[in-house]
Amino acid sequence: MLNVLGLDTRIFDQVSALEKTAYRTASVTFLIVVGMSLLSNGFMGMMLFGSWIAVIPFALFFGFIQFSILRIALITLLTKPLAQEISEAPDERSPTNKKLWTGLKSNLGIIRLSTLFRIVFVGLIALTISFPLSSLLMLPKAMEIEADHRIELNQSNQNNMAALKDIQHTHFPFLVFQELLLESSFKFLLILTSCLVYAPLFLVARLRYNNKFEYIEKARQEMLKLVAIDYDETMEQSQYDLNRDFPNSKKVLKDLSVYTDAPINSIYKNESKHSIGNKIDFNQFIQSIE
């Protein structure tokens, strides 16, 4: 069940029982949303075509699309950049102002463009799930609205046999949605089902930004180890190839690096001397290395 969130079970076994329960809760909630998606899309197929044959294709096809997008939205919350943020210079503000400023920066850091995209896409999925599902929960009323509308169309097209035939085989799901929106109970169901769709996202976001939970940081450290191993092997092989050309080549690759935090390469050895140049400057720098 944990595989729906792409968790590494080897790392997952190292966290606390409370954190394991939290991840299991998020996984179960996500599976509940997937079930809601299948049910909602299946009923949407029924509303569009009025046939049980359309239920399975709609449920599987659109359900798979929604499942994939929701899963990506959750999995991308369970990873952190390998490079840690660089601490800034000491702040001379008073303790109270400093605390407020730190909290503000922390909140602004959470609101990123990726976060906005994640919220928007999950919101679109919540709408596509909540409207058919809420209509299903109010099935008698939905059927009554469609039947009344069909009667009105039949009465207004009594002398048009072709139109009468089309009316009998036509369904009006969006008219049903429009009429149901006038009902307070339907609005309540829309809000409730939308919140349920958002629930896994909120739970996983809580796991990501709560310092008490360790899985994401442990996963980051494990990935960093793998990157470091690959980096060291590449450097050793490259140095070996250079040493074969000794004494024509006396280069030591690690000494040539301008970074102090390989393999992340985010902190310069001489930060004050670093400047962004152009292609010509870069080529001249490469040619100057002996």
pLDDT at 87: 41
pLDDT tens profile 105-150: 555 555 678 788 889 999 999 999 999 999 999 999 999 998 888 8
Residue 282 three-state SS: helix
The number of residues in the chain equals 290
**Cβ neighbours for 270, distance < 8 A, ≥ 6 positions apart:** 258
Amino acid at 173: P
Q: C-alpha distances in angstroms, 141 versus 146, 153, 182, 237?
A: 9, 19, 12, 72
Alpha helix ranges (H) inside 13-138: 17-49, 55-75, 95-110, 113-137
Say whether both 276 and 198 belong to one domain.
no
Under a CB-based contact definition with an 8 Å cutoff, are residues 259 and 267 in contact? yes
Q: Does 69 map to a domain?
A: yes
Nearest to 62, CA basis, from 91, 90, 34: 34
Say whether both 47 and 124 belong to one domain.
yes
pLDDT tens profile 85-106: 544 444 444 455 555 555 555 5
Q: How far is CA 171 from the centre of its chain?
A: 35
Say whether both 113 and 9 belong to one domain.
yes
Range of the domain at 134: 2-82+91-138+183-213
CB neighbour class for 186 (10 Å; exposed up to 12, middle 13-18, buried from 19):
buried
pLDDT at 228: 87
Residues 98, 99, 100, 102: is their CA dihedral positive or negative? positive
Q: Does 174 map to a domain?
A: no
Six token digits for residue 49: 């075509």
The DSSP code for 77 is G
Q: Does 161 map to a domain?
A: no
Amino acid at 31: L
Q: Does 164 map to a domain?
A: no
Q: Per-residue pLDDT for the chain (290 aa), expressed as one digit of tens each?
A: 567 888 888 888 899 999 999 999 999 999 999 999 999 999 999 999 888 888 999 999 999 999 999 999 999 888 888 776 544 444 444 455 555 555 555 555 556 787 888 899 999 999 999 999 999 999 999 999 988 888 888 888 777 777 777 777 788 889 999 999 999 999 999 999 999 999 999 999 998 888 888 998 899 889 888 888 998 888 888 888 878 777 766 777 777 777 777 777 777 777 655 566 677 777 776 677 65
**Cβ neighbours for 155, distance < 8 A, ≥ 6 positions apart:** none
Six token digits for residue 176: 């049903």
Say whether both 202 and 245 belong to one domain.
no
Give the end of a domain, one of 168, 191, 213: 213
Say whether both 187 and 247 belong to one domain.
no
Residues 9, 11, 16, 22: is their CA dihedral positive or negative? negative
Nearest to 13, CA basis, from 173, 215, 188, 202: 215
pLDDT at 96: 54
pLDDT at 93: 47
* Total number of domains in the chain: 2
Say whether both 201 and 248 belong to one domain.
no
Say whether both 242 and 274 belong to one domain.
yes
- Residue that has been written with the tokens 């294709």 in this structure: 57
